[in-house]
Chains A and B, each alone.
Chain A
Amino acid sequence: MSSKPAFKVLGRDTQRQDGVAKVTGREKFASDLSLPNMLHARVLKSPYAHAKVKRIDVSAISDPTVVTLTPDEVPDARFCPRLMSTPEATYKDWTVLTSKPRYVGETIAAVAAESEEAAQRALESLVVEYEEFTAVFDALGSMEPGVEPIHDYIELDEETLKVESNIACHLEIEEGDTEEGFRQADHVVERTYRTNRRYHTQLETKSVLVRPEPNGGVTVWSTTQTLHNTRILLHEIFGIPMGKIRVMKVPIGGSFGSSIQVNPVVPIAVALALKARRPVKLSYTREEDLHDHCSYQMIFKLKLGADREGKLTAGHLDAWLDIGAHQIQAYPLLGCVVGWWVSLYKLPAKSYVGKAVYTNKVPSCAFRGYGNPQITWAVETLMDELAEKVGVDPLDFRFMNYIGEGDLFWGQGPSVKSVIHSCGVEEILTKGAEMSDWYNRPRAETQTGRHRRGWGMGRGYHTSSAGAPVPGTVIDFGGAMLKLNEDGTFDYVSALMDHGGGTLDANAKIIAEELEIPHHKVNIVRADTGTTVYDVCTHASRGIYSGGGAALKVAAQVKQKIREQAGNLLDAYPNALKFRYDQQREQAVVYAEGIEGREITYKELAYTMRNKNLGTIAAVDSYRQPSCPPHFTGYFIEVDVDTWTGKVRPLRVIAGADIGTVINPKLAKGQIHGGLAQGWSMTVNEDTPYDPTSGDLWNRGFISDYKVPTSMDLPSLEAFTVFFADTYEPTGPFGAKGIGEGALNPVAGAVANAIQNALGVRFYELPITKDRILEALKRKEVEA
């Protein structure tokens, strides 16, 4: 239980400020924008999974107004499109266009024309000659001797590295004596797991509009999670002074990690716009988008040991990350995979060998949870198996071993360590068990008949930002500006992006809480790189903990300035002044308690200061959060498995989340709803397999063949319960933590355990499709 202060603004549902624009169709996303005199771009994508471009002939384009762009016309600098790590952890193997395509769909050339149709026709007139190389589609196969190298050289911190055995990077960690730990174990289980390769299916395809400016600069509107890193990267590639690159904030139609990196469309459109000296728009088709990004497919060999009481003694993890043809954030991910793993349960001794491996597939990038859903699925599956061996209930087994308050936590990798100060795990698991009647669930193997039911649980967490008391290889800080307007409202200006979860509204509410005003008095300004201080990116579920931390910091500074100025005008001691909101006047009032007449509203203060030439009350600052508090989640899920068709249906879902202070209850629940939906289909539906002959995706870029869940596939309203634990994070703004990724991470483990509970069969490969279920049932029958 926590001792939460009583809030006036936080914890109540409020209407999001961009809401009216969004429900009236007036919101303009990057893909909706256009400019007068704009050209439309199309890109030439490699039909081969691995090849060299020997020649590109543009002479057959009959339309003389078409602008073309080929690999030798773009800067040849190698770069990494994701700039969240320090230089010694940023591997560079990308170029704007390539003459050595390494996956089907890699961009070789681009054209811009008066219409999209004209651009497409020009594209079809390009003549390209390729020399094909053998391609490899499996991470383990890719490391075999004699396999065609995908990259010869890459760059790290100005140094050139030779790539050996297609291993992009690797990381090994050992803490404690693992061998001894396993010797002390009475029970050891080791399993190999293989995850799927999922596509984000963010509803808006990657898009950008670029306007070249007369000063040699560019203005950019793009699908991005980070304005400032977009600017830094464009500066590094094109050498344009940063002040002449303006990256504008536009709402994003879903992202889920797929725009942490600067999307490849951005530098291409910039190069085209600079060459054409006209605005250029490049918006991917869905097929192109499906060939642009996906999640990391992972193979784990996971081994855990426990003593006879059920205490874990040691763990070892081998992880192979299939990263596709380029590195977006493979090295930081190697650190996170081990971080996610060791921060779930206490392991007195642990060792880890992680390898990130190139394959000739679409490059993988972060996808909500950044490897956490993958490893948590494996761990939560194995924890169930090990509990069975030890002879304790899987839930009790988790109670005995989870990492919670007071423990060291390093989810974001070995260089981001901090201590946990708030933890709702007990509450989540206890309530969830009660609500699901956990201890009376059916036992595996006891059911017969066509339909079998099972309950499963899974728990997990995600970080709230990547903060820590000392710097590591992860860059994580943000900032905000806040100013008092003459009517007593405030402008909140930040580079932070809202992916749709209501992050910026939450931060506006944090400001409103501090300044004793209603939420609508804090106006969220859509700004750009020129008018905001640096914010690293909206990722790692940091929007509220870190972005809200920055908002609170400037709000407190503004409040102090209000005190001082009001103190002067009222002839009162600033630190004695109090604040309240006057509903009738619709103004916050600063006053000296008990002294009549000594009060002034924000509006009067701002106007008086204006009229007396005293300036504007404003604050701008950066904020680095001191910690990396996990937000914990737990799912109890009941499924029905049809043993004739293999179809799995969700019957009940009980989800608990510890997110500290809840700021927007409906929207916070919405994160859980979305997390469940994505986790559900991660477990039973989604994958992007490859045709080894053509080297292309089997689904060729169709979302119908990719199977994201529809409204028909998910539990009914009544069957889906979400609750929040009563916690308060002492390092968070008004006690708040993140939610976005923890909402997803444990789902696959819970669903997989429920399927096991229904059928008595364990699955070690995702997704657990109908076919796999039927196959496993058949195998079981044969064995019996």
Chain B
Amino acid sequence: MKIDVTINGRERSFDVPPNTLLLNLLRERLDLTGSKYGCGIGECGACTLLLDGEPVLGCMTLAVDCDGRTVETIEGLGDGDGLHPIQEAYLEEGAVQCGFCTPGFIMTTKALLEEEPNPSEAEIREYLKGNVCRCTGYVNIVAAVQSAAGKMR
């Protein structure tokens, strides 16, 4: 099936089998491997990206459902050399250990801060609960979201 998708600001056309997952399209066809495979079945959040600004799981989204829509991945964040404030905050707060969960968390954070620029700690924890991190115990991640919120205000 032919689809047109705007990916990180660039319009692209693909011809894909209908069962192609968005995650595989990005990773295999475009080498956009920032969205990670952690489980493939919606359990870990490592593949979180934004579809028309809403956080979705790349492993649970069919590429054909993205026809005519806008996809933003971790690779689309920041501008060239500069980091996005969320990315900066994650680094400054020590929220990145192995880093495998990080892109998913950063994209979820972006969605959260767009919805709610001043989230409470409880709201942050609630919003992030679908993203699994096995390294950090979420402490520095929550702190990074708070700091990013401050930077973006």
Contacts and interface: CB of A to CB of B under 8 A. Distances in A.
B96 A16 contact: yes
Contacts of B102: 22-23
A527 B39 CA distance: 29
A205 interface: yes
* Secondary structure call for the A interface: loop
Classify chain A: how many residues form its interface, as a range: 35 or more
B43 A254 contact: no
Classify chain B: how many residues form its interface, as a range: 35 or more
A253 B44 contact: no
Contacts of A400: none
Contacts of A673: 136-140
A254 B134 contact: yes
B46 interface: yes
Interface stretch (B50-58, B62-70, B123-131): B123-131
Interface stretch (A187-195, A196-204, A388-396, A409-417): A196-204
Contact of B137 (A16, A204, A677): A677
Contact of A714 (B38, B137, B143): B137
A8 interface: no
A22 B99 contact: yes
A705 B133 CA distance: 16
Contacts of B36: 29, 31-32, 203-204, 253
Contact of B94 (A21, A26, A31, A667): A667
Contacts, number: 175
Given A24-B34, A24-B75, A714-B137, A203 B100 contact: yes
A674 B100 contact: no
Of B39, B87, B140, the most chain A CB neighbours within 10 A belong to: B39
Contacts of A674: 97, 134-137
A15 B93 CA distance: 9
A285 interface: yes
A330 to B, nearest CB: 25
Interface string A706-733: 0011111010110010000000000000
B77 interface: yes
Interface of B: 27-28, 31-41, 43-44, 46, 73-75, 77-78, 83, 87, 90-94, 96-103, 106, 121, 124-126, 128-143
12 contacts: A13-B94, A22-B96, A201-B132, A201-B134, A253-B36, A286-B38, A286-B39, A674-B97, A674-B137, A675-B137, A712-B129, A720-B139
5 tightest Cβ-Cβ pairs between the two chains A and B: A25-B34, A253-B100, A500-B98, A22-B99, A677-B137
Given A670-B139, A710-B128, 10 more contacts: A13-B94, A19-B91, A23-B74, A24-B78, A25-B33, A32-B36, A34-B31, A253-B98, A286-B38, A711-B141
Interface of A: 13, 15-16, 18-29, 31-32, 34, 200-205, 251-256, 283, 285-286, 499-502, 664, 666-667, 669-670, 673-678, 702-704, 708-712, 714, 716-717, 720
